[in-house]
């Protein structure tokens, strides 16, 4: 590929947005992920596994809509920033993340089988992370932008800490299959999610060291891996199956088993 294409992308719609190449490729990957998970989940009858499929199919499904809208230039706005001029901000990302990051966390919370209060707290702090990141992206002074970035990053650290400590020990209680899948997915989340605030702060939203084309490419790679890659690891694991080997003894179940 010609180096200028790698630098900025290729203006597919001819409207002066070279990043449309990466947004178009992102849409295709998210659609492939969505349909792959649908086909894979088609004949699944296990009740618990079906829950994981429903959640995990929604994630790239929502992202494909967000990517397609950004591709066509919807969910894009201009923000005047003191000392930086006018920035192009794709705010549709935050709408995507506001729904998809809680769903990814819900998958992990279901694996760990934690209570509703823990799930609510985890998702609440995660939503705070996305909303404060959006406020930062729409702010007009560098000081405000960096302050919101810090707020959002602290919320992210709380989420990741919660995953690596209390959810991790809860997952361990559920046996080696769940423990190993949970740990693989959490390692993936720790690495990939940490890259988002770094890319934001070096990218056009922050210092502007990385241009919009490269930034859009890297966010696309992160988004595809954090959603489709995550789903691929989760849905191929036996950890998502209900505890069929040791059914809870309850009245009526003996006759239902015949
Ligand atoms: C599928 C999409 C995923 C997994 C998105 C994750 C996004 C983040 C972890 C974003 C974090 C941010 C900060 C911690 C600070 C700056 C603003 C954000 C929203 C990029």
Q: Give the 3-state DSSP-derived string for the chain, with helices as H, strands as E and coil as C.
A: CCHHHHHHCCCCCCCCCCCHHHHHHHHHHHHHHHHHHHHHHCCCCCHHHHHHHHHHHHHHHHHHHHHHHHHCCCCEEEEEECCCEEEEEECHHHHHHHHHHHHHHHHHHHHHCCCHHHHHHHHHHHHHHHHHHHHHHHCCCHHHHHHHHHHHHHHHHHHHHHHHHHHHHHHHCCCHHHHHHHHHHHHHHHHHHHHHHHHHHHCCCCCCCCCHHHHHHHHHHHHHHHHHHHHHHHHCCHHHCCCCCCCCCCCCHHHHCC
pLDDT (0 to 100) of residue 5: 58
Q: What is the pLDDT of residue 242?
A: 86
- Candidates 133, 134, 190: which one to mutate for ligand 1, based on the most atoms within 8 Å of Cβ? 133
- Calpha distance 102→124 (Å, rounded): 9
Neighbour-count burial of 83, counting CB atoms closer than 10 A to its CB (0-12 exposed, 13-18 middle, 19+ buried): exposed
For residue 258, what pLDDT is reported? 39
Which residue has tokens 């046996």?
175
| pLDDT of 3 | 57
What distance in angstroms lies between residue 36's CA and the mean position of ligand 1's atoms? 25
In the Cβ-directed half-sphere of 234, how many Cα atoms lie within 13 Å? 38
d(CA 158, CA 177): 26
Q: What is the pLDDT along the chain (258 residues), one digit of tens a residue?
A: 555 555 578 999 999 999 999 999 999 999 999 999 999 999 999 999 999 999 999 999 999 999 999 999 999 999 999 999 999 999 999 999 999 999 999 999 999 999 999 999 999 999 999 999 999 999 999 999 999 999 999 999 999 999 999 999 999 999 999 999 999 999 999 999 999 999 999 999 999 999 999 999 999 999 999 999 999 999 999 999 987 544 445 544 444 443
Are 163 and 190 spatial neighbours (Cβ–Cβ below 8 Å)?
yes
Choice from 59, 94, 156 to test ligand 1 binding pocket (greatest atom count within 8 A of CB): 156
Q: What's the pTM value of the predicted model, to 2 decimals?
A: 0.92
Find, among 175, 160, 166, the residue nearest to 129 by Cα.
160
Q: Which residues surround ligand 1 with Cβ inside 6 Å?
A: 97, 100-101, 129-130, 133, 149, 152-153, 156, 193, 196-197, 200, 223, 226-227
Q: Identify the residue whose C-alpha is closest to ligand 1 atom 13.
A: 197
């Amino acid at each position: 590929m010609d180096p200028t294409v790698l630098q900025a992308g290729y203006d597919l719609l001819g409207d002066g947005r070279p990043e449309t190449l990466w947004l178009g490729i992102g849409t295709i990957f998210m659609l492939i992920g969505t349909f792959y998970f649908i086909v894979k989940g088609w004949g699944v009858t296990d009740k618990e596994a079906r829950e994981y499929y429903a959640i995990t199919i929604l994630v790239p499904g929502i992202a494909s809509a967000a990517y397609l809208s950004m591709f066509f230039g919807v969910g894009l706005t201009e923000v005047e920033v003191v000392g930086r001029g006018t920035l192009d901000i794709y705010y549709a990302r935050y709408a995507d993340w506001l729904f998809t990051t809680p769903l990814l966390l819900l998958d992990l919370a279901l694996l760990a089988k934690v209570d509703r209060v823990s799930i609510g707290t985890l998702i609440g702090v995660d939503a705070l992370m996305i909303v404060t990141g959006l406020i930062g992206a729409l702010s007009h002074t560098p000081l405000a932008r960096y302050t919101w970035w810090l707020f959002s990053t602290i919320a992210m650290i709380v989420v990741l800490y919660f995953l690596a400590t209390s959810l991790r020990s809860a997952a361990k209680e559920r046996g080696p299959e769940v423990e190993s899948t949970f740990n693989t997915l959490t390692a993936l989340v720790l690495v990939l999610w940490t890259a988002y605030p770094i890319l934001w702060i070096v990218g056009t939203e922050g210092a502007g060291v990385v241009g919009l084309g490269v930034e859009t490419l890297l966010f696309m790679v992160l988004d595809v891996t954090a959603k489709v890659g995550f789903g691929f690891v989760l849905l191929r694991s036996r950890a998502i199956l209900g505890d069929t080997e040791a059914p809870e003894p309850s009245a009526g179940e003996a006759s239902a088993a015949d």
